[in-house]
Amino acid sequence: MDKQRIRELEEMIQVVLLAIPREISAREFYLQAARKAFSDSSRGLFSELAEQEKGHEAELRRILAELKSELIKVRGQ
Amino acid sequence: MKRGDLKNYDGKDGRPVYFAYKGKVYDITGSRLWKNGAHLNRHHAGGDLTHFMSMAPHAEEVLQKCEVVGTIDDEVATDIATDRMDVYRDWYRRFHPHPVTLHYPMGLYYFAAFMQLLYLIFRNPSFEQAAFYAFVGGTLTTFPAALSGLFSWWVNYQMTLTHIFRMKIIFTIVTLVFGISGCILRFLYPQISTGTSSLSLTYSALVFLNVPTLTIVAFNGGKITWPS
């Protein structure tokens, strides 16, 4: 079992894990801003930013799943 | 097409390559940009890629070249990540019960230790009583703090056990064990603080030890809020 690799993976999992709720909060923040916006351009901007945050969240979840699966593999070796 | 049916078109072992985007199902079988059902080894066929587009170096216009073979008709198509957890997450974001509840045991346990210290110095029974009541309060309020922490760990972090969460869980259990033991001792022996027996020392030690144990829990909670 590669202890160094396990430590690295655990650290990366922690980083990604803590980042996900931030993306969710950021998205919620932009969605609220979009709801409050009184011009189409600002509403569009905030909606686009919210969509980007959803993209970040989706990407982070994908990375998290990969990291967890690699950790299971390394631990099993 | 049902969302679950998409999995049968994952591009593996010669199967067709489909993915969903904003409710439409695209067939990109034969595309040179998709190998064995994977796009750039990052995105996999057989699922919904709606939310990944904002991260892509291309716009959704690239899909105009792809054939639409159906629609997702069993739920709101764009909400790929919508599940019951999203409902709980939303509730947690609105009411954030863990930050609300965790300050009670912290304040009460620290206050109990301070009062016990004053009692040991001045021997005024009022300080000892204040320490005891605060200690009981600290122990009782640790339960909602711990439960809301578990809830947060579940909805926000999928109960993934990393170093931070391991430390928080271990030291919360230690805090509860010290708290419950101290309360039982003091209830059984109301005069426990007055003596110098090993039982008296144990009780005082329990009152004081919950300061560092809870500080470790709080310190690790701070790492979540302000990661370094």
Residue B74 φ then ψ, to 5°: -105, -5
The whole-number pLDDT of residue B81 equals: 47
CATH 3.10.120.10 spans which residues of chain B?
A: 3-71
Q: Tell me what the mean pLDDT of segment A11-25 comes to.
A: 93
Q: Cβ contact (<8 Å) for A17 and B55?
A: no
Q: How far apart are CA B195 and CA B148, in angstroms?
A: 38
Nearest C-alpha of chain A: how many angstroms from B190? 45
Q: Nearest chain A Cα to B158, which residue?
A: A17
For tokens 């033991």, the residue is B181
Q: Which tokens go with A49?
A: 């930013």
Positions in chain B short of pLDDT 70: 74-83
CATH 1.20.120 spans which residues of chain B?
A: 84-225
Shortest CA distance to B138 belongs to which of B208, B222, B49, B223?
A: B208
For the domain covering B84-225, report its CATH number.
Answer: 1.20.120
The whole-number pLDDT of residue B198 equals: 94
Contact B115, B128 (CB under 8 A): yes
Q: Nearest chain B Cα to A60, which residue?
A: B52
Q: What tens digit of pLDDT does each residue of A21-72 get? A: 999 999 999 999 999 999 999 999 999 999 999 999 999 999 999 999 999 9
Q: How far apart are CA B3 and CA B83, in angstroms?
A: 13
Query: Could you give the percent of chain B with pLDDT greater than 90?
Result: 59
Chain A residues close to B80, C-beta within 8 Å: 58
The whole-number pLDDT of residue B205 equals: 97
Chain B contacts in chain A segment 2-21 (CB below 8 A) = 10, 13-15, 17-18, 20-21
Closest by Cβ to A55, choosing from B55, B89, B162: B55
A25 touches chain B (CB under 8 A): yes
Q: What tens digit of pLDDT does each residue of B155-180 get? A: 999 999 999 999 999 999 999 999 99
For the domain covering B3-71, report its CATH number.
Answer: 3.10.120.10
The crossing angle, in degrees rounded to 10, of helices B125-157 and B84-95 is: 140
The whole-number pLDDT of residue B127 equals: 97
The whole-number pLDDT of residue B80 equals: 45
The whole-number pLDDT of residue B82 equals: 54
Closest by Cβ to A58, choosing from B81, B157, B227: B81
* Confidence check on the interface: ipTM exceeds 0.95, yes or no: no
The whole-number pLDDT of residue B65 equals: 85
Q: What is the domain partition of chain A in residue ranges?
A: 3-72
Q: Which residues contact A57 (CB under 8 A, 6 or more apart)?
A: A20, A23, A24, A27, B51, B81
